[in-house]
Structure 1
């Protein structure tokens, strides 16, 4: 379990850095970006610039809250957006799962990767993203869930599906309200979104049981994303 969480955190830290491909020195003035010429710098200066760039990428650019979605009743987290058109996002969320019929409530952790292929702007006041899609991995903290099949079950009884980690896929849509540039203090824009998702164990159940329909394995989640920079 500890090695799994460490791997997730390392991926979350390094994914935005690896995927962005930004130059060593980037300056922003009035939301316009230009690239500084670092060709005349010494190896030491270039190394310092690279070091600073990597640390800058660790700064989250988003705050997210999401209701439902196979990641807890309510989840809160941070995110990073990157890519030439900011079409990629990586989110790390922690959720709360009420006890329902179990003995206690539980916490969850979710690593989520989003892709937004299109974005349509309207009058610099709002934009619409007609399609968002992606995949996320969710784990529940608790001794009741296992990563390797316990010996009490027949060999390969669960066919590689543990109860510790769920693999989810989703599609959805978004609408964003943009804060005017002359009024921005802490928030660049606010996005409301919905997602329709399912997970590996639900898909397996549908193929194994003819009574389980597509509607039975799909779930709706709602969320708010605050873009800080």
Structure 2
């Protein structure tokens, strides 16, 4: 009976203090990334959906695919008019991230964005009473864009494991088509825009 009591006490000690008895302390370089949900929030500068924008989104397939819903704002002092834009964005990571010391770099991300600009000056169907037929050729409120960029994940940085920084070069389908039709007038510098953003996992 005495041995039974000793064995029971030993098992209870193991259950109460498993890290101290069964595992050595982790070095600073081996930071354990806390479990997170598939949802995230983003803050973005520029990128064709406003001077600044904020978004919420969800990741799928082990972060290979992301979908986001953005709301952007362009102030009158910068754009000549106050412009509010909403956007739905999907980005895909075709190759694995590259581990670089304390970060993971995603060198290639491709995506597609559909944006809508609010306001009476913008339209999805060209109003026949204001402009001649096919005057614009494209809707001024609804735009589709192709995206190409990358992302840096602070995977092994203490207290910053949930954060990432990303960059995207984008161009609307209207600009791409116009460039193909008239490459001498529209150079690559005129049809592409750059977006810089921060992402935080929830």
What's the TM-score, normalizing by structure 1?
A: 0.65
Which residue of 1 is the match for residue 43 of structure 2? 65
Q: How far apart are the structure 2 equivalents of 1:62 and 1:179?
A: 18
Instruction: Call closer, same or farther: CA 1:145–1:60 in 2, change over 3 Å.
Output: farther
Question: Which ranges of structure 2 fall in alignment gaps of 5 or more residues?
Answer: 1-33
Q: How far apart are the structure 2 equivalents of 1:196 and 1:113?
A: 14
Q: Which has the higher contact order (CA 8 A, sep 6+)?
A: 2
Give yes or no for contact 2:105–2:151 (8 Å, CA) kept in 1: yes
Q: How far apart are the structure 1 equivalents of 2:46 and 2:90?
A: 17
What does 1:112-123 correspond to in 2, within 5 Å?
Answer: 112-120=89-97, 122=99
Q: How far apart are the structure 2 equivalents of 1:212 and 1:121?
A: 35
What does 1:1-229 correspond to in 2, within 5 Å?
Answer: 31=35, 61-83=39-61, 85-99=62-76, 100=78, 102=80, 104-120=81-97, 122=99, 125-151=102-128, 152-159=130-137, 161-178=138-155, 188-209=161-182, 210-228=184-202
Q: How far apart are the structure 1 equivalents of 2:79 and 2:150?
A: 33
| Cα offset, 1:98, TM superposition | 1.6
Q: How far apart are the structure 2 equivalents of 1:91 and 1:72?
A: 15
Give per-residue Cα distances to partners, 1:34-65, cap 9 Å, x unaligned: xxxxxxxxxxxxxxxxxxxxxxxxx8611101
Q: How far apart are the structure 2 equivalents of 1:97 and 1:163?
A: 16
Q: How far apart are the structure 2 equivalents of 1:127 and 1:171?
A: 18
Instruction: Call closer, same or farther: CA 1:93–1:60 in 2, change over 3 Å.
Output: farther
Secondary structure of 2:59's aligned partner: strand
Question: Which ranges of structure 1 fall in alignment gaps of 5 or more residues?
Answer: 1-29, 32-58
| Cα offset, 1:123, TM superposition | 7.7
Instruction: State the structure with more CA Rg.
Output: 2
Which residue of 1 is the match for residue 22 of structure 2? none
Instruction: Call closer, same or farther: CA 1:109–1:60 in 2, change over 3 Å.
Output: farther
What's the TM-score, normalizing by structure 2?
A: 0.73
Give yes or no for contact 2:38–2:60 (8 Å, CA) kept in 1: no
Instruction: Call closer, same or farther: CA 1:188–1:148 in 2, change over 3 Å.
Output: same
Which residue of 2 is the match for residue 11 of structure 1? none
| Cα offset, 1:204, TM superposition | 3.0
